[in-house]
Amino acid sequence: MRHHLTLLTGVAMLAIAHPALAQEGGVSASQTPPGSGAANPLAQPGDQQGSNSSTGDSGALEDIVVTAQKREQNLQDVPVAVTAITADTLVNRNVTTVTDLPRLAPSLTVTQGAVPTNNSINLRGIGTVAFSTAIEPSVAVIVDDVALLQQAQAFSGLSDIARIEVLRGPQGTLFGKNASAGALNIVSQGPAPTLTGAVTGLATTDEEYRVDAVLSGPLTDGIGFRINGFYGDREGFIRNLYDGRKLNNDRSYGVRGRLTLDPTPGLTIDLIGGHSVSESRGTARTFRNAPANAAVFGASLAQTLPGITPGRDNFNTAFNGPLFNKSRQTNGSARVTVDLGIANLIAITSYQDWRFRFIEDFDYIVGPVLGLPNGITAQSGFHARQFAQELRVASKGRGPLSYVFGLYYSDGKTDRFFDRGPSGPVVAAWTSDNGTKTYAAFAQGTFDIGRATHFDAGIRANHEDISVNFLNRAIPAVRPANNATCLTQCSGTGADSVVTGKLALRQDLGERVMAYVSYSTGYKGQGFDISTGFTPLRAARPVRPETSDAYELGLKSRFLDNRVQLNVAAFWTDYNDFQAQSGVLLPDNTIQLTLNNVGKVRTRGVEVELQARPVEAFRIDGGLSFTDAKVREFQNAQCYTGQTAAQGCLPVTGSATGFQDLSGKRLSNAPRWKFNLGGTYDILLPTAPFDGFVQADMNYQSRVNFDLLGNPLTVEDSYAIVNASVGIDQHDRGGVRIALFVNNIFDKHYASNLSIASGGSATLLAQTFTRSARRYAGIRARFGF
C-alpha cells in the first residue's frame, strides 16, 4: 500500500514540476454559458474561493441555480427547504456515495441493511423499511430528470456530479408519488465549451485505489460531448476469522457518455447513457452483544466466538458460509428542448435496467445449523426495468407569471427470486414479478401579486395500475387450512387515483430576504407486500396508500454584502396510513409479520442552514436540524424480541409474541438533533505556481433507536465525527490539485444499524458499520488540461 501511495504522490509532484503543461488550455468557470447545465468539469474546491486575484472575485457568495421546481431558479427564490451540494463540496468533503450525504444535509439519515435493497433514505425521520419488492420509498431519487424505479439503485456510487439537491418535505406535485417525504435530485456534469479533460487518482490507508477520468468539449459547431469513466477497488474492513476474508469491500467501475446537439436554432437534444457495475463480499454484521450460552436456531456459538470480543469496537466476525452481492445498472435518456419563445417545450424519454444478486450465510455462525453442515444459505436476485416519458412546458420567467405543466407516463416491472434453505423450518423458495404503470398530469406556477408578494400553486393528478404474480416453490408437507398460503401461483391487481397539490405565499422582506409559508399534500402509492409468507389475502388486498399533510414556514436571506446566507425552515407534517412492518393477528391466534398500514405519524421541527464568507479566502458552511418524529397511533404493533408484559407486551394465546401500543414513541433512526459545520481556508501564495488550502468539518447526531418497535438494545448513542484535509491547487482552472485528508480523525466507532440476530436469543445483538465508522487517511491527486 505504501508503494501505491508513494507512486501516486510522485506522479502528482512530477505534474507540478511542469506547470506550463498543466496550465495549457485551462478554462475559467465563467466561460460556461449561464443556464446551459454545462458545469465546468475542472472546478474544484478553492476554484471559487477567490484564490487568484486575476479572476476579479468580489468575495461574495455565488448564486446557486437549482431545478427543485423543474425549471431553473435561484436557490434563494424557491419556497422549498433545499440543501444544494455543489461539485466543489462533494470533492472537498470526500463524498463518494449516497451514504455520505447525511454529513452535509440536515434531517437526512440512511439506514443500512445487509444488502442495498434493505437500505432506507430518510428525511425528517420518514423513510421506508420494508422487505417487500413492490413497496416504493418515501424519498425519491432522481438522476438527470429520471426517477429511479428502485431506491437501491442509488447506492452504486457517485461520479462526475455537478450538484445534488436534497429536497425536504413532500415533493409529489412535481416529482411523483414516491416523493412523499422528499427527494434527492442528482445532476451530472454537462459538456464543456472548450476541450478539457482531467484524471483523478485516489489512494487510502484502508486500501482503496480509484481512478476517475473525464474528457469534454465541442466536436463541432452545435455538438458538445462529455465522457467519464471510473474504476475503484477498496479492500474490506470487516475480518472473517473463520477463513481470513476481508468483508464489506467494494469493487466498482462504470462509464457515462453525454452528447448535446443544437441542430437548429431553438432546438437542443441531450443524450445520456451510462453503465456501471458494483460488487462486494457483502455487508457483514458483527456482534455487539453475545450473552453466555448464546445460540442461533438452537446451534451454539462456541465455534464462532473464539477471537471475537463483542462490543461497539468489534470489527471481527466468523461464519462458514458465503457472502456476496453484485449490482449492474444501465440507464439511457434523451431530452429534447424546443424554444417556443416565451417558454420551453421539454420531452424526456428514458429507460433503465438494473440487476442485483446476493447470496449470504443466513445464520452467520460457524458449524452446523439445523442438521445442515454449512448452515442456512439465503440468496436472491432482482431484475428491474422501467420505461418513462415526460412532456412538460416551462416558462422562461418573464412577466408576472411563471409556470411549468406537463404529462408523465411510466411502465416499470421488477422480477425477483428468493431461496433460503436447503431444508429446515426456515426454508423459503419463491419467484415473483410486480408491475406498476403510472399516468399523471401536473402543473405549478408562480404569480407575482406585487413587486414583493408572490403566490405559488401546484396540482398533480395521478393514476396507477399495479399487478403481482407470486409462485411459491416450497410447498409445505402439511397444507394449512383456509388456503392461508400460496400453494401455487397467486396473482393480484390494483388501481388507485389521487390528486395532490401545493400552495405557497412568498414575501420579499428586503433585498435578498424572503419569507414563505406553504401547505402541501403528500402521497405514496399502494403496493403488494411481496415477501416470504405471501398469501392470497395479500394478493387480493394491497397495502393502502400513505398520505400526508405538510405545513412549512421558511426564511431565506443573504446579507452583509452578500457574504452571509442564512436559511431557516420550520415544518409540521402529519402522515396517515403510514406503511411499516408490523404483526397481524390471524384466525388461529398466531401472528404473521407483514407490511400494513399501522396508523398515524407526525414529524415536526426546525432546520437552519448557514453559508458565510467573512473574508475572500475563508468559507464557512453548516446546518442544524431539530426533528421530533413520533408515532401518533400504532396500537397493534408486534412486540420486539424478548419484550415482557412489564415492558408493555400484551400476550396472545398460542403465540410466542404479542402486541404492543407504540403510540407516542419515536420513529426509528430519527435523531432529534443533527448538525454539521465546516470551513475552507485558501492560503494565497502569489510567488508560487500554486495556492494552498486547509479544510475541516464536523458532524454530530443525537442518539437513535434503529428498531421501530422500540427495542432498548438497538439504541446507538450520540456521536460526532471530525474530518480534515490540506493540499495545494494551481492558480488556473486546469493544472494539478493534491489533497491529503483524514476521515474520522478521532476514530469514533458507530453503527449504521443495530438489530437482534436472526434466529438468536433476545439479547444477541448484531451491528452494521459503514466504512466511515473507522479512521482512514488518503491522498487525492488531480491533473487537468
pLDDT for residue 476: 61
Residue 215 to residue 195: CA distance in whole angstroms? 8
Q: How many residues does the chain have?
A: 785
Which residue carries 395521478 as its cell? 462
Nearest to 238 by CA among 680, 765, 751, 777: 751
pLDDT for residue 551: 97
Which residue carries 475541516 as its cell? 696
The rounded mean pLDDT for the chain is 86
Which residue carries 487568484 as its cell? 52
DSSP 541-591: SPBPPEEEEEEEEEEEEEETTTTEEEEEEEEEEEEES-EEEEEEE-TTS-E
Q: Are 190 and 537 in contact (CB under 8 A)?
A: no
For 508-525, what is the HEC assignment?
EEECCEEEEEEEEEEEEC
Class of domain 2-784: mainly beta
pLDDT for residue 651: 81
pLDDT for residue 40: 35
Nearest to 53 by CA among 619, 732, 693: 732
Q: Could you give the count of Cα atoms lying within 13 Å of 284 in the half-sphere of its Cβ?
A: 29
Contacts of 642 (CB under 8 A, 6+ apart): 711, 756, 761, 762, 763
- Partners of 500 in the β-ladder: 460
Helix (H) or strand (E) holding 19: helix 19-23
Give the angle subtended at the CA of 630 by the CAs of 624 and 633, to the nearest 5°.
Answer: 165
pLDDT for residue 36: 36
Average pLDDT along the chain, 785 residues, taken 10 residues at a time: 42 37 32 35 33 52 84 86 89 85 89 82 86 85 91 85 92 85 92 93 95 94 95 95 94 96 94 95 93 88 92 95 93 96 94 95 89 87 96 87 94 94 75 94 93 94 94 69 70 93 94 94 90 86 91 95 94 91 53 72 95 93 95 85 87 73 91 94 89 94 92 95 94 80 96 88 91 95 91
Residue spans per domain, the chain: 2-784
Rounded alpha-carbon distances, angstroms, from residue 156 to 70, 92, 386 = 25, 20, 18
Rounded alpha-carbon distances, angstroms, from residue 239 to 195, 242, 639, 775 = 46, 9, 33, 16
